[in-house]
Structure 1
Amino acid sequence: MSEERGFVEFITTGRARMREPMAGQPISNQNQLLRFIRCFTGPWTPWMPIGVFLIHHVDGPILVDTGASSECMKPGYVPSYMFVASILTQLEVEPNDDIVEQLKTRGISPRDLQAIVVTHLHTDHAGGLENIVKLAPDVPVYMSAAHWEAYGKHPTWADMQGCASKHWPKAFNLKLLKFEGNPVGPWAGSEAITPDGQVVAVPTPGHVPGHISVIITEDAPPGQSASTFLAVGDATYNVGLLEREEPDGINQDPKTAFESLKLIKEFSRQKDVVVLPSHDPDTPRFLRDKVEPHLSSWGIIKHQRTKNSIGAIVDMATQPRVKSVCPEPLRIFPAEPLPLNLITRVDKNRSNGYYGPFDANLVATKAAELIAVNSDAQQLPLVEVLNRLLTQAEADCVAEAVAGQKNAKAEVTHSCWLCIRMTLPTDGWVVPRWHTDGRMFDCTCPDSTAPHSKYAFSILGPSTRAILTNPDAHKILHSPSPSGRRWDTNDPDPGLAKALESYPQAAIEPGQMIRFSWAQEDSPIHSEPDSTEMHRVFVSILFGSECELRDMCDFRGETYGAWY
């Protein structure tokens, strides 16, 4: 599958997931052996795309990577001694995912390719190379000389690092990059792939020796500036990890990987650039909307001063640039099955919560304890589930900040409001209480019009009811009823339920997280679910700066830093 065609097209050649510590770990964990061991301990990430970039260049199409081959699903594709890979990663690739098949649907033959740029030789990036070269043996294949020296000349070692060398082409038109060309941004050397300089490779080693990224400059219409994209391969798995400067956990050189992340961020500070990781589920949106990752530690506006919302002078040299591209009002994350018999009942109706500094493990541990006291929950597995979901929410929140779409401060997830609602079976919500969420706190973002969001999931019982985003549904909600009265959004309203009954609702499974904006015209219309004869445990979390969450506590009469 792919996104709508532009100068750069994102093609998905399957999907993958890995243990969370494999995707990223803080650089403070520098011991290579301990980083590796941690990769066996975490929960699975959500499924991620196996991405390939197709550049529609005037001189002919160019591929950045070739994705995974559907052959990888067959026994024996990788050496038997690499069984450990299945413990750390899982791939799902169908025959029609193969890059040759996907090129064919676009009317492109491998012989039409101007070039292939391989960021590195891992199976999910070079898996399609064999079939392309069979059909187009003369197509130039670019990779770094350092990578070929490390892996190409040592195939057994490469296989131990996640390659499948027996599926590399036996002979191909290899072009080795030594980065002896002009400096680009923070990089001392580069290599032009096209004579016009629209496609340029730069070194981003660390994930593997000699890993490269590709700078792509799109043609600009008259009077407009050109868009710049940076395809970073596996230099980072998602923009949230890039913001936190967390190299992946499985590499042999975390310090070098960390330095590459800093170079990518510095390039974004120097230039408006859309960063495109190969495995970030949000890459299609970043590409479509040309969302630039302006973070507090990256894009700095210099020599400007302004007033903040309370009239104080703020030096904008310390504030992030913000690009006002709104996140989706409603996002449904990939489902991850909950452990069997994690929890089957609650003892009584009870609500707990917390306002204060956010630490996923600490918050998950305390929340699991409170739930277990009032239910038959298995506490330790519940800690793991909550930690996984809260970490996922945190990463998404940071990624939205990276995209410049809401609170873009470095402290975007400094604090949180966590809410836990445990309820016995009730028929109180047979008729839905359709409503949207209003103001939670006074936003202190540089762009105060950008939406904030809340994350929610159920670990027992039915999930939140949410109407799929539809302007007509919002028009009904915001208009008077036929009798001229305002709809009741504080309690179930049969009339409103009737008016909205034809609008499709999202299908949300237990344990599946949703994100919905608040205090916006298009904030999702949602309701408690009908939980007749069903016990329910519902959890929601909202992130913000310490200042914002303290404002929320003042507004609600709660105590910051305390559980209730």
Structure 2
Amino acid sequence: MIRITPIQTGTVSIRPHHYCGEAGRSPLGRKIDMMRDKDWLENLPIYTYLIEHPEGNFLVDSGDTAENSSKAYLPRWHPFFQHHVLVKVAPGEEAGDQLRAMGLNPAKDLKGVILTHMHHDHAGGLHYFPHTPIYVSRENFMLANSFRGTILGCLPMHFPKWFAPVLVDLTDEPCGPFPQSYPITRDKRILLVPTPGHMRGHLSVVVRTPDVTYMLAGDATYDQGLLLEELVDGVTYDVATSTDTLKKIRALGIEEPTILLPAHDRNAVERLGSGLILPRS
């Protein structure tokens, strides 16, 4: 039996143009729009997802840390971190604390942690998993550990000193509409697929069960409505690449019954509970 449990590690508030860029705007133009925004889109959830699989427990993303609620944790020179994102993670809301509350030891009871990408709200809880294999794409890891990665929203100065992840190089075995994949489990029911656009090397996690497929999409899209309308966020490095990713996720939902579970979708828990799949026409 395979079961997926969402774990909310606090909330994040972002600017409206961060959430969804305007049609026709370039990646640079979208970021300028985001920086000019006066309003906030408040309190989006920060979800990690626990996958219980016969081969072991896997966590998708590590969530953020309560330390990120303090401005002192963030680079003071960085306008995005100082003025355009607001993380609220209370003590006890971190992924490791919540796993313990579920009866799991985060240092011992996980077969693996899978990072869709290494933005701060997805890689902020890594310190709980020093003895667990942590999977991330090679491309994303190299970017996140550079100064450019910091510019783009990563915090490599806070990655644990012991952090040496399993660097994923995708193989040419297709998974539905995705031309490449990487199996996490021997039965290939948990697969990584490429979903670039939000960040280079971004991966999503496909979980196949006999009845339904789950698409744990990270930040490939922020919610199902944006996906269905093929609307791209303000963070994208290439609008066409992001749009192609959205089309592939949509195509997967047409090929097989699929429940979409992004990291910041307010309706993800309800869809999961009710078994609401992506429209198939």
TM-score per shorter chain, which class? over 0.9
The share of aligned pairs that are identical, in percent, is 31
Task: Give the CA RMSD over aligned residues.
Answer: 1.5
Please point out which of 168, 176, 181 is paired with 2:167: 176
> What CA deviation, in whole Å up to 9, does each residue of 1:315-360 have, x standing for no partner?
xxxxxxxxxxxxxxxxxxxxxxxxxxxxxxxxxxxxxxxxxxxxxx
Residues 487-508 of structure 1, C-alpha deviation per residue, up to 9 Å, x if partnerless?
xxxxxxxxxxxxxxxxxxxxxx
**Aligned mates of 1:240, 1:26 — CA distance in 2:** 15
Distance verdict in 2 for CA 1:268–1:27, change over 3 Å: farther
Gap runs ≥5 in structure 1: 1-5, 219-224, 301-564
Distance 2:81 2:5 in 1: 29
Q: Are the aligned partners of 2:75 and 2:81 in contact in 1 as well (CA < 8 Å)?
A: no
- Of 120, 123, 127, the match for 2:120: 123
Aligned equivalents of 1:251, 1:49: Cα separation in 2: 20
Tell me the equivalent position of 1:274: 259
Q: Does 1:67 align with 2:63?
A: yes
Matches within 5 A, 1:90-489: 90-110=86-106, 111-133=108-130, 136=131, 139-152=132-145, 154=146, 156-218=147-209, 225-294=210-279, 299-300=280-281
Distance in 2 between residues matched to 1:184 and 1:74, nearest whole Å: 41
The one-letter amino acid paired with 2:53 is: H
For 1:42 and 1:265, locate their aligned partners in 2 and report how far apart those are by CA, in whole Å. Answer: 32
Structure-2 separation of matches of 1:36 and 1:149: 23
Displacement of 1:173 after TM fit? 4.4
Give per-residue Cα distances to partners, 1:58-95, cap 9 Å, x unaligned: 22210000001001122331222124323222111101
Q: Hey, what's the Cα distance between the residues in 2 that align with 1:13 and 1:85?
A: 18
Whole-angstrom distance in 2 between the partners of 1:259 and 1:42? 30
Give the TM-score, by structure 1 length: 0.48
Question: How far, CA to CA, are the matches of 1:99 and 1:255 in structure 2?
Answer: 33
Aligned letter for 2:27?
Q
Which digits, 9 at most, give the CA deviation of each residue in 1:110-132, with x for residues without a partner?
21110010001111100001232
In 2: Cα distance, 1:15 partner to 1:269 partner: 31
Assess if the C-alpha contact under 8 Å between 1:118 and 1:126 holds in 2: yes
Residue matched to 1:89: 85
Asked whether the 8 Å contact 1:63–1:113 carries over to 2, the reply is: yes
SS, match of residue 61 in structure 1: strand
Which SS does the other structure have where 2:166 is aligned? strand
Does 1:12 find its partner at 2:4?
Answer: no
Pairing partner for 1:34 from 21, 25, 29: 29
What is the identity, as a one-letter code, of the residue corresponding to 2:32?
Answer: I
1:52 CA displacement: 0.2
Match of 1:523 in 2: none
Deviates more, 1:80-89 or 1:232-241: 80-89
Residue of structure 1 equivalent to 2:49: 53
- 1:355 aligns with none
Distance 1:212 1:84 in 2: 23
- Which secondary structure does the structure 1 equivalent of 2:82 belong to? helix
Q: For residues 80 and 63 of structure 2, what CA distance do their matches in structure 1 show?
A: 21
Q: 1:42 to 1:213 in 2, by over 3 A?
A: farther
Where 1:166 maps in the other structure, the secondary structure is helix
Contact 1:186 1:267 in 2 (8 A): yes
CA distance in 2, matches of 1:262, 1:77: 37
Segments of structure 2 that go 5 or more residues without pairing to the other structure are none
Find the aligned partners of 1:279 and 1:243 in 2 and give their Cα distance: 16
Give the secondary structure class of the aligned counterpart of 1:55: strand
Structure with larger RCO (C-alpha < 8 A, sep 6+): 2
Asked if structure 1 preserves the Cα contact closer than 8 Å seen for 2:208 and 2:214, the reply is yes
TM-score where L is the length of structure 2: 0.94
Please state how far the C-alpha of 1:17 moved relative to its aligned partner: 1.6
* Matched ranges for 1:523-534 at <5 A: none
Q: Is the 8 A contact 1:144 1:178 kept in 2?
A: yes
What SS does the aligned partner of 2:260 have?
Answer: strand
Secondary structure of the corresponding residue to residue 247 of structure 1: coil
